[in-house]
A and B are shown apart, each in its own frame.
Chain A
Amino acid sequence: MKTFTYTRASTVAEAAKRATPAGAMPIAGGTNLLDLAKPELINPDQIIDITRLPDLNTVTRTSDGTVHIGALVPNADLAAHPLIRQHYPVLSRAILSGASPQIRNMATTGGNLLQRTRCIPFYDPAARCNKRTPGAGCDALHGPNRMNAILGGSPSCIAVNPSDMAVALRVLDATIHVTTAAGTTRTIPIADFHLLPGNTPDHETRLERGDIITGLTLPPPPPGRQVYRKVRDRASYAFALVSVAAIIDADPTPDASPHIRSARFALGGIATKPWRIPAAEAALADQPLTRDALNRAADLTLAGASGHGENDFKIPLARRTLTHVIAHTARNPIPMDPSGAT
C-alpha cells in the first residue's frame, strides 16, 4: 500500500471537489477499497472519508410510493429496513445473500454499487489484467475463469460484476443519484450505470471523476412475488455462480398451468454487469407457463453466451436456475400488495 493522505469531507460538494484529482478516492465502508489498496491493485494517494456526510444515511418513502435510499446506508441496515423487507424483499434477500454479517455492517449502498470484480487475475499483481493496466492483456480468458462472465464480455475482459445488491436493483429499476464535482446533480438509471467492458474495461461505470453517489430511488414495487436465488459453491460467504432476481406476477390456477401476467428477471454472477433482457421478459408476459415459453425466455436471456473453459457450466446452470425460479415462483404466487401501501 502506498502512502496516502486521509481527510474527512463534511459536505457532499466538498467531497466531490476533493475526489476530483486523479489519485483521489472517496472511502465509505472501505471493505473493498482497502483490500485492493494493500496489494497495490489500486493506488490512491488521497482518501476522502465520506462516512460523516450528513443526511445520506436514511431510507425514506415519499407519498407517491418512491423509496429513497441514502448512499451511506449500511448493507446490513438496508436489508433489515422494514420498508425494504415489506416492499422490496428481493433487495433484502440479495443483500443478505452476500458477504458476511461483519462486512455487511461496514459496507454501504454506494460502495456496494461500485465494488470491483473478484476476477482472479485482477486480484493478482503478478497477472496481466486490462482493467488494472489497460492494454496489458487478460490472463482470465485462457486461465482461471471458473467464476468469470459468459455474457457481456469482450476479448479484453470477462470479469463478472459480483454485486448481489445490484442485480436486485436492476430488476427493481433503481435510479442512482449523483452530485458532480461542479456541484450539479444528475441521475443515472441502473440499466445504464455499469458499462460493458468493450476495449476499455478499466472504465466500469458512468461516473466521472469527482462524482459522489448520494443515494438511489426505487419506484413503487411492481406487482408479483419477489425472489432472489443465489447459486453458490457453499451455503454462505461465497460469490454467486449464478443468481436470479425475479418478480413474477402470475395467476394461481390450481389445476392448469399458471398464467403469467408479467415477469421481470435479472441475472448475476454470469455477466460483466447485472443482466436483464426486456425481450426475454416480454416472451413470458401474458402467457401460460409452458416449457416453450420458458425456453424462449432463457434463449433470449442467454443469447450470445459463451464459455471460456472453466466457466462453460454457467450456461446450463443459468438456464436451469432461471427456468426453475420462474416456474416455481409462478406456481407459488404470494402476491405483494400491488398498491405498496403499508
Chain B
Amino acid sequence: MTDTLPKAPLDTPFGPGIDRVEGPLKVTGTAPYANEHTARRIGSPTHPLVGFMVLSTIAKGRLVSLDTTAARTSPGVRLVLTRDNAPPQNDWGPLVARDRFARSQPALHDDRIRFFGQPVALVVADTLETARAAAQTISATYEPETPAVTLDEKTAIIPPTLNGFKPTRTSIGDFRNSYAASAAKLDVTYETPHQSHAQMEPHATTALWDANGEHVTLWTSNQILNSAQKGIASTLQLKPEQVRIVGLYVGGGFGGKLPWFDDALLAAIAARMLKCPVRVAMTRQQMFTATTHRTATRQRIRIGAARDGHLRAIAHDALSHCASFDNFVEDTTTITRGLYGADAITTSALLNKLDLPRSDSMRAPGDAVGMIALECGLDEIAHTLGMDPVALRLANDTQTDPTAKRPFSSRKLAECLRTGATRFNWSARNPTPGQHREGEWLIGTGMASAMRYNLVRPSQAEIILSQTGHLTVRMAMTDPGTGTITILARIASEATGIPPDRITVTIGDTDFPPAAGSGGSFGAESAGSALYNACETLRLRLARTATTENGPLANIPLSTLSFSNASLTNGTKTIPLTQLVPRDGLTTQGSIKPGNEAKDWSQASFGAHFAEVAVSAVTGETRVRRMTGVFACGRILNARTARSQAIGGMIWGISAALFEANPVDPRSGQFTARDLANYHVASHADAPHIDATFLPEDEPVSNPLHIKGIGEVGICGAPAAIGNAIFNATGIRIRNFPITPDKLLPHLPEISL
C-alpha cells in the first residue's frame, strides 16, 4: 500500500466571510491606480509626461490631413504623435486567434477611419491641462463615407463561430414538427441595446522604458495581463519578454478591460520616443467610444409547449454586431441550448459588421442579453398556458444538458427555484396581471432562472515559504474589485494551514507566473486551482522533509499528517513549518489546464431571480421594490465577496431592465451617451433591499477547489425577472429593452380623478 499525504481539507469555517485584504487601501484612497504612479513609485528620475488622445469625429472614411501646427508650438508640448511619425507596427490581427486579446492592434497606423472616436493623434505635454488644450487645437480633414451602424438582417452574415468558438448553429430534435404540434406557441422578437461598461476607473496607462529603450514597463488597468503583454509586444514588433505589464488595482473591468486599448500602446510609443515616462488616461467621454461595448441584439424566440407545460420546442435566433474590422460574435443563444429539457432546441446567429467601435465581452457576454429573450419568453408561455412560471421551469428541469447531451456535473436549479420562491413569498402572488394597485402604483412580481456555463483557463502560480514562516503567492493574476486577492489568500491558508495574516498575495505583474486573469467568471477557478496545486506540492515537500530518516517526524506515515496553525502534525507530535524550511526558503509551482472533464460533463452555475416592481400608472416609471436571488455555484470561498458579486449582478440587472442603453446617432455613427449623466445605471435610490444567497453545493468535477464561477450568474436572468414583474404589474409586455417610461406610456390606463 502506498503511503500518501491526505489532500488539504476544503472545509475551513470562514463563517460570514473575510474582509478584503486590500480594503483599507481602497477606502482610504491609497491604493495606487494606473494613472496615479509618481516618478518615485515607478523608479523614474522624472515625473511622467501626460498624453492626451485626439479622436476622430467621423465614423467611416479617410483621414486626409491633420493640422497640428498650433499644437506642436504650444508651450509645454513635447510630442505630437500622428500616423506621420508613429513607429512601424504590425497590422491588426490575426482576425481569428485563440486569444483575441493577444492580437496586434496598431494605432495611428493608416489613414482609414473605422469608427467614431478612433484615435488619430496623441499630444504629450508636461501637464494634463497643456496636453489637453493643445490636443483641442488639432483639426482634421476627412473624406467621410456613410457609416453603417444599425442592425439589419438583410445585410447580415452567418458567422463561422460564436464567442468562445462555440458553434453558430445547434439543433436537437425536430423543431418544425414539435413546434407545429404544440398546444401553446410563442413567436416574438426581443431587442436589447448597446451598453457601455462605464467602469469607475477610466482606462489608463503609465509607460516607462529602460535606458536602452529595449524593455518597457506598463502600469495599466487591465483584466488579463499576459494577453496584453503579448498583444502589445506583437503590435510594437517586440518579444513578449520586452514588455512587462503591472496592474495590481483595477477600478472595475466587467469585460471592458479584457482587451487592452490605445492608452497603453500610445503611452508606450510616446515614452520610447521621448525617453521619458508617459501616461495616458482616457476621459470619461473618450471611454465611451475608444473602448469596447456590448452589442445591441435582436432576438427571435419561438417556444412551443404542451398543455401540461412540457416544452416541446424552442428556437432562438440572434442578430448582433461586431466592428467592421473584427470578428467578435455575441454568443446570445448559449443558455437556450442547455437550460431546459425541451424535445427540440435550435439556435442560430447572424452578424452585422458595422462601422462602430468594437463590440466585445461585457459581464456575462451572450447570457445577460440572451436570457432576456429566453426567460421573458418562458413567462409569456406560462401566461398563455395559465401556469405558474416557477412550476413551468420545474417541469422542464433536466440533469442532462439537452444540446451537449452530457450530464451536468452539479445542477441545483430546482432547489434555487424552490428556495427563492419561499424566501420571496412567491405563493402570495396574483397571477392575473394588473390587479394589485397601491394609489398611483401598479404592483407586480416576476421571476426568471439564472445560468452561466463554467470555464477553466490555463493558469500558473508560484509560492514561496520563507524560513520565518511567511508565505508569498506570486502570479500575474488581476483583481478588478471582485475580491480575488482575498480568496487567493484564503485558498493558500486553507491548503497550507498557514494563517492568512502570514500570507502575502502578490499579483498583477507579468514578471510573475502567467495567470488566467479575470473574466468569464473563470478567475477564481483557474488562478485558485493553480495556487492550490502549488500548495499541494509545498505540503508534500514539507511532509517529505519532515518524515525523512533524520527528520523530526521520521517513520511517521504521510497518511497521518495534517497542516494547521503553521505546523505539521500527526495529532501527537507537532512541528512548526519554519523548522522544515531551508534558509533561502522553499519555492513551489502549480498549474491548471482545462482537462477532459469538459468533454464528459456540462458545468454551469445556476440560480433563480425574483423581483417585485411598482409601475406608476400615471407616468410609466418603474421602481424595483425588492429582489431575491438564490444561486448554486459550488463551494463558496468567501461569503462576503461572493454576496457582493451576486447583488452587484442583480443591481446591474435592474439597470439593464430599466435604464441602460447607448443609442447610436445613425447620421454620425456616434454613441449618444458619453458621460454618466446621460448613461444611466441604477442609482442608490434604484437599488432596493436585495436578498442574495448561495445554496450549499459541491462541484465534484470542474476543479480541485470544488467551486464554480460566481461573477456573472447574478446578472443572468435578472433583467428578465424585472420585465416579467412589469407584465404582472401592468399587463404590458415590452420586448424592447430597457423598459423606460416612454415605452409603457401608450398602454397605461386613463388617469383617474
The interface of chain A, by Cβ under 8 A from chain B, is: 1-3, 38-40, 118, 120, 123-124, 126-127, 139, 142-144, 146, 231-239, 241-242, 257, 289-291, 294, 313, 316-317, 320-321, 323-324, 327-328, 331
CA distance A235 to B613 in the complex (A): 13
Given A234, A257, A313, A317, which contacts B658 in the complex, CB threshold below 8 Å? Answer: A234
A235 touches B440 (CB 8 A): no
CA distance A206 to B619 in the complex (A): 34
B324 within 8 A of A: no
Given A40, A120, A233, which contacts B741 in the complex, CB threshold below 8 Å? Answer: A233
Contact bitstring B720-753, A, C-beta under 8 A = 1, else 0: 0000000000000000000011100110100111
- Tell me, rounded to whole Å, the shortest Cβ–Cβ distance linking B621 to chain A: 6
Which chain B residues lie closer than 8 Å to A231 at the CB level?
A: 619, 621, 741
B685 touches A236 (CB 8 A): yes
Q: Contacts A118-B677, A317-B745, A320-B618; is A235 near B685 (CB within 8 Å)?
A: yes
Contact bitstring B660-681, A, C-beta under 8 A = 1, else 0: 0001010110101011011010
- Tell me, rounded to whole Å, the shortest Cβ–Cβ distance linking B683 to chain A: 4
Contact bitstring B58-70, A, C-beta under 8 A = 1, else 0: 0000000000000
CA distance A289 to B752 in the complex (A): 12
Q: Contacts A235-B623, A324-B440, A324-B618; is A144 near B663 (CB within 8 Å)?
A: yes
Which chain A residues lie closer than 8 Å to B683 at the CB level?
A: 234-238
Which chain A residues lie closer than 8 Å to B665 at the CB level?
A: 139, 143-144
CA distance A232 to B620 in the complex (A): 10
User: Which 6 A/B pairs are nearest by Cβ-Cβ distance?
Assistant: A235-B685, A236-B685, A313-B742, A126-B57, A144-B672, A236-B683
B133 within 8 A of A: yes
B659 within 8 A of A: yes
Which chain B residues lie closer than 8 Å to A2 at the CB level?
A: 133, 136
Q: Which residue of B lies closest to A313 (CB)?
A: B742
B621 touches A232 (CB 8 A): yes
A241 touches B680 (CB 8 A): no
B684 within 8 A of A: yes
Q: A294-B753, A313-B741 are in contact. List 8 more A-B contacts (CB 8 A).
A: A126-B668, A126-B670, A237-B685, A289-B753, A313-B745, A317-B619, A327-B751, A328-B440
Q: Which residue of B lies closest to A291 (CB)?
A: B753
Q: Contacts A2-B133, A234-B680; is A120 near B619 (CB within 8 Å)?
A: no
- Tell me, rounded to whole Å, the shortest Cβ–Cβ distance linking A254 to chain B: 15
A316 touches B753 (CB 8 A): no
Interface size on B, residues (CB 8 A): 39
Q: Contacts A144-B665, A234-B659, A291-B753; is A120 near B678 (CB within 8 Å)?
A: yes
Which chain B residues lie closer than 8 Å to A235 at the CB level?
A: 623, 683, 685-686
Which chain B residues lie closer than 8 Å to A40 at the CB level?
A: 136
CA distance A324 to B136 in the complex (A): 48
CA distance A237 to B677 in the complex (A): 8
- Tell me, rounded to whole Å, the shortest Cβ–Cβ distance linking A37 to chain B: 11
Q: Which residue of A lies closest to B667 (CB)?
A: A143
CA distance A312 to B57 in the complex (A): 29
Given B619, B668, B678, which contacts A127 in the complex, CB threshold below 8 Å? Answer: B668
B285 within 8 A of A: yes
Pick the most buried of B133, B677, B685: most chain A CB atoms within 10 A of its CB: B677
B185 within 8 A of A: no
- Tell me, rounded to whole Å, the shortest Cβ–Cβ distance linking B498 to chain A: 43
CA distance A289 to B682 in the complex (A): 38
Which chain B residues lie closer than 8 Å to A146 at the CB level?
A: 742
CA distance A121 to B741 in the complex (A): 23
B129 within 8 A of A: yes
CA distance A291 to B682 in the complex (A): 36
Q: Contacts A241-B741, A321-B618; is A236 near B686 (CB within 8 Å)?
A: yes
Q: Which residue of A lies closest to B681 (CB)?
A: A234
CA distance A249 to B198 in the complex (A): 46
B686 touches A1 (CB 8 A): no
Given B57, B133, B623, B746, which contacts A1 in the complex, CB threshold below 8 Å? Answer: B133
CA distance A327 to B750 in the complex (A): 13
Q: Which residue of B lies closest to A238 (CB)?
A: B680
